[in-house]
Structure 1
Amino acid sequence: MLEVLDLTKTYGPPDQATPVLRGVSFKVEAGAFCAVVGPSGSGKSTLMNIIGLLDRPTSGVLRLDGLDVAFGDRGREARFRGATIGFVFQSFNLLPRLNAWENVALPLVYAGVSAREREQSALAMLERVGLSHRAQARPAELSGGQRQRVALARALIRQPRLILADEPTGSLDSVTAGEVMALLRDLNQRLGVTVLMVTHDRDLAARCERRIEVLDGRVVAEAGAAA
C-alpha cells in the first residue's frame, strides 16, 4: 500500500543544508496498523508530512498503491491527498464555531457533496465512532476523547485508504488514550483502512502489529510483517 524508498529531506541552502531525513526506506502493507516511533527531533513528523503530501522530499520516491507520487503539481497533490488520505492530529484541529457533525462533514464540503448528503454521511460516521448522541455539540462542549473521536470521524468521512495519525493520543490522559487506540484499532479492522501512527510513546507503539523506529533521520529498527 505504502512504499518509502530512500527519502531524504534537507533544509537550507546547499552549502549550509541541515539534513532531517537521511535515506529512509520501508514498506507498509494494505490494512496494516503501523507505528512510526522515535523521540522528538528524530524526523518522524517530517516523514509524516511528506507521506501526507503536505511537504516534498529533497530526493527519493514515495509510492502509494503501487503508483509513484509525482511531487510538483500542488493541485494534483491536493486532489490525491483528499481522496486517499485522512488525517488525525494531536490538537484535533476542529473548528470551534461548528458542531460535531459539521466538523465531520467539512471534507465533503470541499469535495462538492450536497448539504443533505453531507449531513447524512457525517451522522452515520459519528455513529461508527460512538458519538451520534453528541452530533450537535460544539468542540468546547466535548471532552478530549470525544473531540478525538470527532477528528477520527472526519478523517474517515471520504473513505480514505490511509489514515495518518500524528500523536493522536498526545493530548489525552492514559485511560482516554487507551480508548482512542482501541477505537483506531477497531476501525482499522472493521473498515480495512491502513493506519500509520506517529508517536514517541513506546507503550502505545507496542500495541501496533508493525513498528518502525526512527532516530536522527534514519530507520534504525523494524518489527512486524511488511509487504
Structure 2
Amino acid sequence: MLALTGVTKTYGDGAGRVTALDDVSLHVEAGGFVAVRGPSGSGKSTLLNIIGLLDKPDAGDVSLGGERVVLAGRAEAARLRNRLIGFVFQSFQLLPRLTAWENVALPLFHRGVGRDERRAKALAALDKVGLSDRAAHRPDALSGGQRQRVALARALVGEPALVLADEPTGSLDSVSAAAALNLLRDVNVRLGVTIVMVTHDREAAARCDRTINIRDGRVAGEAA
C-alpha cells in the first residue's frame, strides 16, 4: 500500500540548513495499522506531509497503492490525495459555519459530487461513527470527542485506501481518546482501511499493529 525508499527532506540553506528526514525507508502493507512515534522535532510531521502528498522529498521515492507518486505535480497530487487519502488532525479542522454533515461532505464537493449525493454519503459516514443524530449541528455544539468523530467521518466519506491521523487523541480526554482509537481500529478491521497514525502516546501506539520510531529524521527502530 505504502512504500518510502531513501526519502530525504531538508529545509533552509547554509548554517541554517536542517535535515528533517534522512534516508528514510519504510513499508506499510494494505490493511495495516501503524503508529509513528518520536520526540518533537524528530521528523514525524514531515514524514506525514510527504506521505500525504502535501510536500515533496528532496531525494528518494514514494509509492501509494502501487502508484509512484513522488514526481506528481501539484494538480495531480491534489487529485491523488482526494482519491486515495483521508486526513484526521489533532485540531479537527472543521469549518465552524458548516454543519457536521456539510463538513463531512467537503471532500466530495472537491470531487464535483452533486449536493444530494454528497449529503447522502455524508450522513452514511456519520452513521458509521455513531453521529447521525448530530448531522445538523455545527462544531461549536459538539464535544471534542464528537468533533473528532466528525473529522473521522470526513476522512472516510471518500472511501480512501489510506487514512493519515496526526495526533488524533492529543486534544481529547482519556475517555474520548479511547473511543477515538476504538473507532480507528474498527475502521481498520471492518473496512480494511490502512492507517498511519502519528502519536506521542505510548498507550495509543500499543493499539496499533506496529510502531515505527523516528529520531533525528531517521527510523530508529520498530516494534510489533
TM-score computed with the length of structure 2 as normaliser: 0.97
Identity among equivalent positions (%) equals 62
Deviations 1:159-214 (A, max 9, x none): 00000000000000111101100011001111100000001111110111111000
1:210 maps to amino acid: R
Q: Distance in 2 between matches of 1:23 and 1:174?
A: 36
Please list, as runs of the form range in 1=range in 2, the aligned pairs for 1:70-81 lying within 5 A after superposition.
70-81=70-81
| One-letter amino acid of the counterpart of residue 105, structure 2 | A
Specify every segment of 5 or more residues in structure 1 that has no aligned partner in the other structure, as ranges: none
Aligned to 1:31: 31
Alignment of 1:1-227 (within 5 A): 1-13=1-13, 16-224=16-224
The one-letter amino acid paired with 2:222 is E
Paired residues, number: 224
Contact 2:56 2:70 in 1 (8 A): no
Question: Aligned partners of 1:200, 1:223: CA distance in 2, in Å?
Answer: 15
Q: Hey, what's the Cα distance between the residues in 2 that align with 1:142 and 1:35? A: 27
TM (norm. structure 1) is 0.96
Runs of 4+ in 1 over 6 A off after TM superposition: none
Instruction: Give the RMSD, CA atoms, in angstroms.
Output: 1.0
Give the deviation of 1:14 after TM superposition: 5.5
Paired with 1:25 and 1:72, the residues of 2 have a C-alpha distance of 19
Compute the displacement of 1:35 (Å). 0.3
